[in-house]
Every structure is written in structure tokens, then in C-alpha cells.
Chain A
């Protein structure tokens, strides 16, 4: 009986504590991110970068004299939690903007709730920019500053293949993770590569929980692939690259980046591993990285500084939009000011993040290539910014 009474009181107590305090002097933003869960390593650093930027912003007095209160919810990359997260943010917390830092499977519920409540939704460091944000007529409520864009990534990969391989006829291997979005991305890259005249030595989709990458590496090696690229989470490509190296494969690997790319590239110390981020690595020593480092240390980020870039840029975007929105700022006003965002990323991206009524993603995508130089014992830049305009 005692146990039952304890349990009952606990449950009643917990439900009573569900009251939410009311505060009216702040900008309220809602974030639904994959902070824990199987895919957290790709999205959690961006969440931390954003959080660190907002904490620093609030300590400096906020925007227009008002603090920015961000409600962070953890959807663990799972669609059912994204459903309840966005409902809570919109119905209960009454945020003026929604931010998604998670897998593409979580997009649909957040988009539905954004449309239902006319709240702008920003995809910040999410899996990929959905087609609805592209010009000429983007969906009014959706904005995207993610670094992965299917078409543009593919064009960049093919372009760098041609440049780095000296234009000779190469056999190209392509790796996807066995989830719908990754496979579709890789299929598109295959098409672009064939158009450019490359021979495809395998388009392989590997299950997310593969215990060993050696069978797939063997298949690539037997097919004679000299260059391999992936369009999948970064650690996936890394695992395949590890297996390839163990098999004695001497080709080159081009990896599309995710936030943790720099730290991992330094760890490998392999000369034939190329990384193609659309943001700058901290090894270039830009002043903005010192700022990020100080803020990260002060506000307790658990991920290394070089993975916080995308979240930091997200914070910059938010600050810019809120500044122009003024006070008081409603969801509708914020949507209009988001459409006028023009943020100089201080070198993190190759160009500004510029949104307009006809373009909710960016005017151009920029890509760089880095690799490890054994002689200099550090990561060096191989190719400078490649600009791919977004149509």
C-alpha cells in the first residue's frame, strides 16, 4: 500500500508541476533538435552552436534591449517526438519562430504545424534543404540555412572530381546510407556524374546498423573504384574509408561534411581523404573562431569548437532578423524580416546568407576542399571556394 501511495503522489505531483510560467518581455523562439539519439552526432553540435551564440547574445543585453528566450526540445531524430514538439512549441509556448535541427523525417510534422499557426520555420543545420525553399516561388513560411543541398552538393562533387583527378577518366564509387533521403541524393549524384562522363563503379546503400563495412569496401575495391564519394552522415563515410584503408585500397575519398568533419579529419592523418565542407575549417584561423572558442568555453559546449559553426551562423541569422523586426515582434512580422535577412558570416560560409521573397535558401552555395597534408602534419586547404548559383 505504501508503494502505491508513493507512486500515486508522485504522478499527481508531476502533473501539477506542468504549469508553465508566463513571460512577456522576450522574443520567444522554439527549437526542435536531435540532441540525443542515433543521429545526434550530426545535429547536436549545431544545437550547441546556436545555444552558445544565444547565451552570449543574452548576456550582452539581447536584441533591441530584449532577451531572446529559446525553448530547446529534443526530438531524438524521431518523427513522433517532432509531432509533439512542434505542437507544444506552437500551442503552448506560442513561439514566434520554429527552428528544426534534425533529420528529414521530422520535417513534415513541423511544416504542418508551422502552416497551421502561420509561424515561420527555419531549417538550420538540418539534414537537407527541402525543395519548398528554393526559388522562384518558395513556400512563404519555410526558410533554410542548412549546408546540405542535394542538387548543389552533387554538382560540387562532380566538379571537384574533375579538378582533383586531373580530368582523367576515373571510376567513381558512391556510398549512401540505407535511408530514403540519402539514397535519393546519391542517385541524383550518379546521374550528374554519368552526364559528366564518369564511369560509375558502384552505387551502394549500406544499412545504418551495419556491423562491418569490409564487405562493402571489398565490393568497391573489386569494382576498381579510384574515387569514392558519399552523401550520407559523415561517420558513415569514415567507417567505409577505414575499411578501405585496411584492405589496402589506394584510391581517394571525397567526403561531404557534417559539423564534426574537421576534428575527425585531423584524427585520421590520411593523405587520400578529402573533405568538402560548405563552411570554413577553424584551421584557417579566422578571428570569428576565437570568438566561438571563448563563448564555447564560457557556456559549456561539449562538442569541439570547429563543429559549432553552423549553429553560430544560425544565431547570427536569428539576431539579424530579430533586430530588424523590432519590438514587439509577432510571427507575421518576423516572417517578413526573415525574408530580408542578409548576414555576413565573417568567413564561415563562402558568401552571405541572403534571403529574399523569391529565395529562401541562398543565392549561391559555396564549397571548399581540405585534406590532411602529411608533410605539414595539418589539414590544408586544397581548393578554395567554388560558387554554385542556386536556381
Chain B
């Protein structure tokens, strides 16, 4: 039972982090290696707001999420849009450079100290008992947040005109542009949403573990669930995250915990062998370098 709770919570975390990868890949066909850094930046904004307002969540959370959204849009407009049409590998490297830049700025502004946003929260994270499993308030909050985010995302993509435009721009940018869709605005929106999701993940990751300029390494783990679920499918992230979380928790519990790092990659190798485009992704054309 406890294992099930652990798996669910980890799934929520991974799903939120991985969703950003998928959204960005759908929008720009680019593997954003800056995503971990964006997550870290969102976490820092949240922490700063918490400390400045003395633990006021009603103010800090919206500000952090809004900042995350705006940062995502800014990264697209400043870094990715000028490079439209350039080779994919160049753009990937640009995201790496942006990531390094964000990290340097974070170290300059907030220093390399490890921060614990959990201690700035207005409440203590108490454990609750359910059967013979224990979970905490934050666990519940992260599950709820992930659920709400995905419902919102699916509703946006499937039910609204804006969502249709986003999907059109993701599938065939040229045709979408010719059809009168302002693809730059729409792709910027995708980036903003991706970063929004990353900041949401950061809220829960930093309060569970810690926050430092090198938290980006954790964000980078999230691309495995994205790949297993299919880089083209926003909903495929959920089963992908579930599988990875399951493998990690089981590996930690029954196998050598050291395997926790390599286990997701072995699963990934298997998935690539059997079904390279992920569980729910679409078969892709040859991607030129």
C-alpha cells in the first residue's frame, strides 16, 4: 500500500516535469535541455516570494506560476524564435546555453546555498494514515495539482479553439501559418505552458527535497517518462511517468537502490527496441540533423 502511494506521488512529480518536454517538442521539434534549469528558476521565484511574504501561499504560488509562464515565453521569443529554420542540433545547443546562463544568474542572485522552502511554508507537512500507508499533506497537494493541470491541459487542447490552433501549429507549422494562425504566438503559448508545468513541479519538488542552483539535474531525469510515453503525446506522459515511477520504486524496494538511476534507462532501451515512438506517440519521419 505504501508503495502504491509512493508510486503515485512520484508519478505526479515526473508527469508534471515531463509534460514540459513533450509540449516543447510538439511545438518546436526541439529537445529542450534547459527544462531542468527553468524548473529550478521557478523554484527560486517561489522561494523568494515565500520568504518575502512570510509564508503567504496565496500570493507566492500565483506569482511563481505566472513568472514561470512568462519565463517560458521569454525563452522562446529570445532564444528559439530567432533560430527558426536552423538545424535541430543547433537549437538544442542553444537550449543548453540558455540553461547554463540561467544557472549562472541563479548563482549570482541567490548564491550557491542549499535552500529549504519547506521551512518557509506556513504549515508543517504532517503525515496522515490511510490503512497501512502514510502520506503527507504535500503529497496530496501534488497529486491534486497534477490532476488539475492535466485536466486543464486536455480541455485546452481538445475543446478550445486555441487548443486546436496549438495542435495545428505543432503538426504542420507551415500549413498552420498559411491558414492564418499566428504560429509564433501559439508556440510561445506552448513554451509558456511547458514552463508553467515545470514551475508547478518545482513547487512540489523543492518543498519535498531542497533547492539549489544544481537542481536542474533532477529536471533532466524527466525526459525518460516523456520518451516512454511518446514525445508527441501530451497524455502519453501519464502512463510513461507511471511506468518509470513504478520501476524506480520497485527497484529501490526490492533490488539494489543503486539501480534506481539505471533502471529507467533500461526500460527506455527496451521501449526503444520494441516501440521507439513511445506508447502513444505518432510514427515520425526521418529527422535530419
Whether A216 touches B257, Cβ cut-off 8 Å, given contacts A209-B218, A246-B125, A247-B127, is: yes
Q: What is the CA–CA distance of A206 and B261 in the complex, to the nearest angstrom?
A: 9
Proximity bits, B124-141, A CB within 8 Å = 1, else 0: 010101000011101100
A267-B114 in contact (CB<8A): no
Name the contact of B13 in the complex, choosing from A38, A211, A216, A267 (C-beta under 8 A). Answer: A211
Q: Hey, which chain A residues are within 8 Å of B125, CB to CB?
A: 245-246
Which residue in chain A gives the minimum CB-CB distance to B14? A211
Query: In angstroms, how far is the closest chain B Cβ from the Cβ of A260?
Result: 7
Task: Flag if B261 contacts A207 (CB, 8 Å).
Answer: yes
State the Cβ distance, A20 to closest chain B Cβ, in Å: 25
Let me know if B19 is at the binding interface, CB within 8 A: no
For the complex, what is the distance from the CA of A309 to the CA of B276, rounded to whole Å? 53
Whether the pair B112, A44 counts as a contact (CB closer than 8 A) is yes
Complex CA–CA separation, A88 to B2 (angstroms): 54
Known: A38-B214, A302-B113. A218 touches B2 (CB 8 A): yes
| Chain A residues with CB below 8 A from B6, complex form | 212, 214-215, 218
Query: What is the CA–CA distance of A41 and B107 in the complex, to the nearest angstrom?
Result: 11
In chain A, residues 205-246, which have Cβ atoms closer than 8 Å to a Cβ of chain B? 205-216, 218-219, 222, 235, 238-239, 242-243, 245-246
Interface string of A246-268 (1 = CB under 8 A from B): 11100000000000100010011
B174 contacts A by Cβ under 8 Å:
no
Whether A204 is near chain B, meaning CB under 8 Å from some CB there, is: yes
Q: B205's contact among A37, A40, A211, A215, by CB below 8 Å, is which? A: A211
Shortest distance from the beta carbon of B154 to any chain A beta carbon, whole Å: 24
CB-CB under 8 A for A41 and B14, given A239-B210, A248-B127:
no
Q: How far is the CB of B264 from chain A (nearest CB, A)?
A: 10
Picked from A204, A247, A260, A264, the residue with its CB within 8 Å of the CB of B257 is: A204
Given known A36-B213, A206-B257, A218-B253, contact A212–B208 (CB-CB < 8 A): yes
Q: How far is the CB of A187 from chain B (nearest CB, A)?
A: 13
Q: Is A303 an interface residue (CB 8 A)?
A: yes
Let me know if B70 is at the binding interface, CB within 8 A: no
- Name A160-207 residues within 8 Å CB distance of B: 178, 204-207
Residue pair B2, A242 in contact (C-beta under 8 Å): no
- Tell me the residues in window 1-54 of chain B with beta carbons closer than 8 Å to chain A beta carbons: 2-3, 6, 9-10, 13-14
Q: Which of B213, B220, B260 contacts A210 (CB 8 A)?
A: B260
Tell whether A338 is near chain B: CB-to-CB under 8 Å.
no
B139 and A215 form a contact (CB under 8 A)? no
CB distance from B39 to the nearest CB of A (A): 11
**In whole angstroms, how far apart are the Cα atoms of A302 and B217 in the complex?**
24
Residues of B within 8 A of A302 (CB): 111-113
Does B75 touch A at the CB level, under 8 Å?
no
Task: Find out whether the CB atom of A267 lies under 8 angstroms from the CB atom of B119.
Answer: yes
User: B225 → chain A, closest Cβ, in Å?
Assistant: 11
Indicate if B175 sits at the interface (CB-CB under 8 A): no
* Size of the chain A interface, CB-CB below 8 angstroms: 39
Chain A residue with minimal CB distance to B249? A215
Query: Is A35 an interface residue, CB under 8 A from the partner?
Result: yes
Q: A40-B112, A243-B208, A260-B114 are in contact. Are A212 and B13 (CB under 8 A)?
A: yes
Interface string of B191-220 (1 = CB under 8 A from A): 000000000000001001110111001101
Which of chain B's residues have a CB closer than 8 A to the CB of A246? 125, 127, 134-136, 138-139, 208
Nearest-CB residue, chain A, relative to B112: A40
In the bound assembly, the distance between CA atoms of A142 and B171 in angstroms comes to 62
B51 to chain A, nearest CB (A): 12
| B218→A215 contact, CB < 8 A | no
Q: Which residues of A contact B66 (CB under 8 A)?
A: none
> A205, B257: Cβ atoms under 8 Å?
yes
Q: A178-B258, A268-B119 are in contact. Are A214 and B221 (CB under 8 A)?
A: no
Contact at A212–B9, with CB atoms within 8 Å? yes
Chain B residues within an 8 Å CB radius of A36: 107, 112, 213
B118 interface residue per 8 A CB criterion: yes
Whether B209 contacts A239 by the Cβ 8 Å rule is yes
- Cα–Cα, bound, A178→B3 (Å): 22
- A76 to B, closest residue via Cβ: B214
Nearest A residue to B201 by beta-carbon distance? A211
Q: How far is the CA of A243 from the CA of B209 in the complex (A)?
A: 8
Q: A243-B208, A248-B127 are in contact. Are A208 and B113 (CB under 8 A)?
A: no
For residue B116, CB closer than 8 A to chain A, the reply is yes
User: Which chain B residue has the least Cβ–Cβ distance from A263?
Assistant: B113
Indicate which residue in B111, B138, B260 contacts A303 across the interface (CB closer than 8 Å). B111
Least CB separation from B135: chain A residue: A246
Q: Which A residues are in CB contact (< 8 Å) with B119?
A: 267-268
Q: Which of B13, B112, B217 has the most CB of A within 10 A?
A: B112
Given the known inter-chain contacts A247-B127, A248-B129, please indicate yes or no for A215 contacting B113, CB distance below 8 A: no
Is the beta-carbon distance between A248 and B134 smaller than 8 angstroms? yes
B252 close to chain A: CB less than 8 A:
yes
Given A178-B258, A205-B258, A247 and B134 contact (CB-CB distance below 8 Å): yes
Identify which of residues 13-47 in chain A touch chain B, using a CB-to-CB cut-off of 8 Å. Answer: 35-38, 40-41, 44
Using A44-B112, A211-B14, A238-B210 as known contacts, list a sample of 9 further A-B pairs with CB atoms less than 8 Å apart, ordered by residue number in A. A36-B112, A40-B212, A209-B220, A211-B221, A219-B252, A246-B135, A247-B136, A248-B127, A248-B134
**8 sample A-B contacts, Cβ–Cβ < 8 Å, listed by A number:** A207-B260, A211-B218, A212-B9, A213-B209, A215-B257, A246-B125, A246-B134, A246-B138
List of 4 A-B pairs having minimum Cβ-Cβ separation, nearest first = A215-B252, A207-B261, A248-B127, A38-B214
